[in-house]
Amino acid sequence: MARTREFDTDAAVYAAMNLFWCRGFEATSIQDIVEATGVQRGSLYAAFGSKENLYLTALDRYRRDLSEPLIEALRSGVSLRSLLRSTLLELVDFAIEADGSRGCLIVSAAIERLPVDTGAAGRVRETVRAIEDAVYDALVAAQVQGDLEPDRDPRALAQFFVTIIHGLRVSGMIQPDRGALMGAVDSALSVLD
């Protein structure tokens, strides 16, 4: 008879996600995960198979919790300018509150794991592509509604805003200064004029 799992898998994934988010994959040991989750090493391996699989599960959780709400908002029909502004302001607020201790798990995974981990690479690319496609769709809708000039390239603008989103996450870690980050937000939004 198989043993029933004696811990909350979702809570363990959430705790591991936060560790990976703060420290990265390489700097997070299995012992760190054991201490953060309260789940013994053997139980973690039984549930996830490896640290790598737990990391991939954490990336999935990050996408579900942070990226998918943005994608849904972009597809909601809300004014693109106000939605982008509020999204970028949330990133600034997050950077200030985190005081440089936490950037973006997707950016971290891209830098640390893309060259060596095809599972992480696929998840990073899918997440970035999904955000870019949602921004693109919102820009096309803005053009149809007359809120964006017809000669603007929505694909190039979508790529630009995804770059700004990721750039704010990195800049917020380097220098969590509201004034500097707000200057970047205002400059980015000016491209919609």
Look at the chain and count its residues: 193
How many domains are contained in the chain? 1
Q: Give a yes or no: residue 75 inside a domain.
A: yes
% of the chain at pLDDT higher than 90: 87
Q: Give the pLDDT confidence score for residue 5 in this predicted structure.
A: 55
- 183 within a domain of the structure (yes/no): yes
CA–CA gap between residue 21 and residue 33 (Å, rounded): 12
Average pLDDT along the chain: 93
Structural domain that includes position 174: 58-190
| DSSP classification of residue 178 | H
Q: What is the pLDDT of residue 4?
A: 46
Is there a domain that residue 51 lies in? no
Q: Specify if 7 maps to a domain.
A: no
> Sign of the CA dihedral 146, 82, 166, 178?
positive
Structural domain contains residue 174: yes
By percentage, how much of the chain surpasses pLDDT 70?
97
Is residue 33 included in any domain, yes or no?
Answer: no
- Residues 6 or more apart in contact with residue 38 via CB below 8 angstroms: 7
Domain-embedded: residue 6: no
- So what's the pLDDT on residue 117? 95
Query: Is residue 19 in some structural domain?
Result: no
Report pLDDT digits (tens) over 78-124: 888 899 999 999 999 999 998 888 899 999 999 999 999 999 999 99
User: Mean of the pLDDT values across residues 12-33?
Assistant: 96
Per-residue pLDDT for 55 more than 70?
yes
Tokens of residue 85, six digits: 């502004």
pLDDT digits (tens, 9 = 90+) for 118-166: 999 999 999 999 999 999 999 999 999 999 999 999 999 999 999 999 9
Q: Which pLDDT band holds residue 1 (cuts at 50, 70, 90)? A: very low
CATH of the domain at 65: 1.10.357.10
∠ CA 42-48-49, nearest 5°, is 70
